[in-house]
Structure 1
Amino acid sequence: MRLSRSLAPLPVALALVLSLPYAALPYDAPVHAHARVEAGASPSPVRFGASCRTAVRGSQVVAHCHNPYVDIDRVRLHIECARWWDIDTDSAPADAWPAMTVRLTGRCWKEIRSVWISHQKAR
């Protein structure tokens, strides 16, 4: 069966309209929010926090923290010593400005049990 010449463009036009991307819809088209995202909420993650590397050599610790983001990251080095009589230490806070690397150091008298870095937004 042949379609008449006046009806032949209709299926082609319908296929083109149905394959339009979402951005091509008119502005007055209703926008349906997703079930888990509230209107006005930003789904993008907050980019914050310097990436830190720690190196332990005997009883000394060296940490290098590089901040690739815009917000200032106030970092601190925390050291837990292995011996019960050895005092655990926390370094003074150091501000890692954007595109800046800071160096933090600390030590125990004897062995080190654990080391970690804390991050805080500087206001």
Structure 2
Amino acid sequence: MICASGLRRTTALLLTAAALAGPSAPGPLAAHPRGASARPAPRPVPPGPPPGAECHTLVRGSHATADCFNGNATPDRVQLHLRCARWWDPAMDTAPVTVGPTRHVTLAQRCWLTVREAWVSHTPG
């Protein structure tokens, strides 16, 4: 059972929290001349930068390959990077290759023993 002072305290806390939070829901929509309620116009989404080529990497033991396809209208420069598992095995990078629109390239590189990590970097080309 809630006592009257506890109910007043809870109500006061809720009203204070609501006042601090501000309006959480938009006001009523203006009536449309034909009787239907007006809907706010959707905001246009600004176009982002075009994505680069889509690349899939495959690591098998000491070999890594990346297959890249550029389905965009702009060229993309791709480069395969490897981090080898052993400290004495140097990290390896391929030369950057430009992938033209609707073109496909395969990049390959290897470590002496084992590949720890492989990734492709993109530069607008």
Stretches of structure 2 that go unaligned for 5 or more consecutive residues are 1-32
Distance 1:15 1:60, change over 3 A: same
Q: Alignment partner for residue 84 of structure 1, among 87, 93, 112? A: 87
Per the normalisation by structure 1, the TM-score is: 0.67
Residue number in structure 1 paired with 2:25:
none
For the residues of structure 2 that align with 1:104 and 1:20, how far apart are their CA atoms?
A: 51
Shift of 1:48: 2.5
Residue 75 of structure 1 pairs with residue 94 of structure 2: no
Per the normalisation by structure 2, the TM-score is: 0.66
RMSD of equivalent CA atoms? 2.6
Shift of 1:21: 9.7
Residue number in structure 1 paired with 2:63:
60
Q: What does residue range 9-88 of structure 1 map to in structure 2 within 5 Å?
A: 14-15=33-34, 43-88=46-91
Identical residues among aligned pairs (%):
40
For the residues of structure 2 that align with 1:21 and 1:114, how far apart are their CA atoms?
A: 48
* 1:48–1:71 Cα contact (<8 Å) kept: no
For the residues of structure 1 that align with 2:39 and 2:55, how far apart are their CA atoms?
A: 46
- Deviation track 1:64-110 (CA, whole Å, cap 9, x = no partner) reads 00111111100000000000000110100111100111100000000
For the residues of structure 2 that align with 1:18 and 1:111, how far apart are their CA atoms?
A: 65
- Deviation track 1:13-66 (CA, whole Å, cap 9, x = no partner) reads x307976997xxxxxxxxxxx7xx9xxxx8111213001001111100111001
Paired residue secondary structure (1:15): coil
